[in-house]
Structure 1
């Protein structure tokens, strides 16, 4: 029995020949699966975890951020009835597009009324010009009247002197007639002369005496005509007159007063009413360096009060006409910015008042992001840093580029209508948030529009070099005051 069992055991395969290959394959599989996991883990670490950590290290982000833009409220500048409304909510408009039209007829009537007022003012100006020129002619005439009055006084003074000379001549004739009379009287007593000759000499003496008396009365009359006493004071002659009589005589002063009154109507006022005619004339000629009377009168015409008043009336009428035309243009309400219409609350037939809100226009291009960063995130933020903005509307497939343009000078709670008061015993410190404005760069609303109020996630690149205005600062530069616009020159 033992011998038969040997061959049988030698011919059958042994169990130790098959297990080695099975153990090696499973071991290799385990090694490969571990390597794959290690590679995948390393790849995940290299391509996902490390970039995430690196990105979180070099950026600051917040999900408390929203899209904002300028809004222009459309309101009429004149009151009236709405004729047409040419836009509706969500319509896109450009600057200058017609939004609303008001009834223009009442304002056209006002334009016609103001135009009539301008025509009347122009006619009044022509009348004023003619009146001023007439006053200039009158003033010229009064100037010659004054000169004539002065000359009359000078002539009267000359007449006094001439009559005084005649009086002196008549006295000489009287002396001669008296002497001949005395001689004839003696000759008559000696019978040398006849009675006829004596009577003739006596008659000549009487005539001479009458001529002396008449000549003296003529002198008295000439003196009285100049307002002088008929008989001069003792120690003076009949021909003595005041040296400035031609400047103070009543007719001269009257002519001077009329001239000054006429000049006052033309805006020519003398420095003193006590001036003599000569001084007044000298002062008048000083109005022109060369003393040119024509240039003086030309300048007086330009500055005459009546003409200035008429010109001011015309200017006022023209400005009223401009205002009426402006109000007529205001009947057509235009868009002041490019954007989208919102909040329309006006319809044809409504009566609107000045300043009444009709609709609003939201700007499409002046878009920015108001990001509320925690105060602990603000340490390294500066104006000009680059920002990547993701909108929840588009997800992470669409990113917008931006830059920090400014920091609001106060947290939201401090800028509220009723600021929070923390002076209580149960105070709990809350991390505050500061609004930071982020302007979008190369934003094109026609391709990828953003809507006001959308939630976005801005990520500020702390390693980026700040650029643009006020780069690297917390506060913006002081804006220099702009020069006022030039006023419209008067016509």
Structure 2
């Protein structure tokens, strides 16, 4: 009996020691976790509800026409100003030739009006001289008539000649006024009909340029929808270009996590695509003005029916390190794990500085107008009769 009692005491003592040791381990772990949380974890917020976002630049046609050539396919790399597709150019060429001929026609018609003006001025001077001569003859005959030196019929004919000459002069003056109203003393290039013809020629010239579709940015082709032989309308989307140097991360934090999140805070990010070994550096540059549910096509109507509180998420924009993106390119839509260092809360909740520079820009939609001006000058010179008409 004594041995059994000693055994039970020993086992009880062993269990007591185990409980103490286990309690000490739990206590130390708890203290360690509290210290870690107090020193580090309480200054971080993290989420795996984060995705890579980027500019998806749609390529649209600026004119209608048939697709004659396609130079790219999905996932192809294109540089800025590379040719993407070609439209059939026959219609654009015909319209361009027609517009050139219309401008030449209007130039010649306007010059004809100017020449008519010169002709009318010469005619008026001649008719004025004729009228002056007839009036002098009438005055002399009036003196002779007063002395009964000529017949009544002769004086009547002289008076009629003066009246006819006066009316003829007035008609020419009215015709001159009509011509002046058409020209308004403007130079040839300033005439409304010529300006209208130049505008139509410019539109035809631009449309001829637009049959060649080029890339506005450097990036990768995606979502190609167009096929050769297809008839496309103006404004129809052909494909999308994704520039991988214009990507950012949109992290959707719960509203309870946003208390200490500020603009300018540092962020560490990892992606399943590259694994935990590759860490991206980022910085918070914006906090959305509304939750996803508020901006959805059909926002929730919380004032109707039974209501259940759902914690909302707010998108936070994170700009990535450009050099890291070059070394480890990210694709739009990839998921990211985000950890924000919230130890520094001196930043702002909202920016109050308006942008002072252009963020995105392309010049592929602008054409060299000097080439068009040279074209207009050539048409003018080839159809001018009097160079003095250009002032």
TM-score scaled to structure 2, two decimals? 0.71
Other structure's SS at 1:354 match:
coil
Structure 1 position 301, deviation (Å): 7.9
Other-structure match for 1:131: 116
1:260 has 2:189 as partner: no
1:395 has 2:271 as partner: no
Structure 1 position 329, deviation (Å): 2.1
Structure with greater Cα Rg? 1
Against the structure 1 CA distance between its residues 316 and 444, is the aligned structure 2 distance closer, same or farther, given a 3 Å change threshold? farther
1:71 has 2:56 as partner: yes
Structure 1 position 71, deviation (Å): 0.6
Structure 1 position 146, deviation (Å): 5.4
Instruction: Tell me the number of residue pairs that the alignment of Structure 1 and Structure 2 aligns.
Output: 337
1:412 has 2:288 as partner: no
Per-residue CA distance 1:205-238 (angstroms, 9 max, x = gap): xxxxxxxxxx3575988987898xxxxxxxxxxx
Distance 2:129 2:258 in 1: 91
1:103 has 2:88 as partner: yes
Against the structure 1 CA distance between its residues 140 and 436, is the aligned structure 2 distance closer, same or farther, given a 3 Å change threshold? farther
Other structure's SS at 2:229 match:
coil
1:331 has 2:244 as partner: no
Structure 2: runs of 5 or more not aligned: 1-20, 359-365, 377-391
Against the structure 1 CA distance between its residues 50 and 312, is the aligned structure 2 distance closer, same or farther, given a 3 Å change threshold? same
Other-structure match for 2:331: 451
Cα RMSD, aligned residues only:
3.9
Distance 2:212 2:336 in 1: 39
Per-residue CA distance 1:144-171 (angstroms, 9 max, x = gap): 455556x53xx6456645775xxxxxxx
Other-structure match for 1:472: 348
Against the structure 1 CA distance between its residues 216 and 140, is the aligned structure 2 distance closer, same or farther, given a 3 Å change threshold? closer
Whether contact under 8 Å (2:50, 2:336) holds in the other structure is yes
Other structure's SS at 1:348 match:
coil
More strand by share: 2
Pick aligned residue for 1:355 from 235, 238, 245? 235
**What is the 5 A alignment of 1:198-209?**
none
Against the structure 1 CA distance between its residues 127 and 87, is the aligned structure 2 distance closer, same or farther, given a 3 Å change threshold? same
Whether contact under 8 Å (2:117, 2:176) holds in the other structure is no
Pick aligned residue for 1:460 from 302, 321, 340? 340
Structure 1 position 397, deviation (Å): 2.2
Per-residue CA distance 1:35-66 (angstroms, 9 max, x = gap): xx99xx89x95xx9855653322222222111
Whether contact under 8 Å (1:365, 1:444) holds in the other structure is no
Other structure's SS at 1:403 match:
strand
1:344 has 2:240 as partner: no
Structure 1: runs of 5 or more not aligned: 1-33, 165-214, 228-248, 270-299
TM-score scaled to structure 1, two decimals? 0.58
Other-structure match for 2:315: 435
Other-structure match for 2:100: 115
Per-residue CA distance 1:451-475 (angstroms, 9 max, x = gap): 1111112222223477xxxx62414
1:426 has 2:306 as partner: yes
Distance 1:85 1:481 in 2: 35
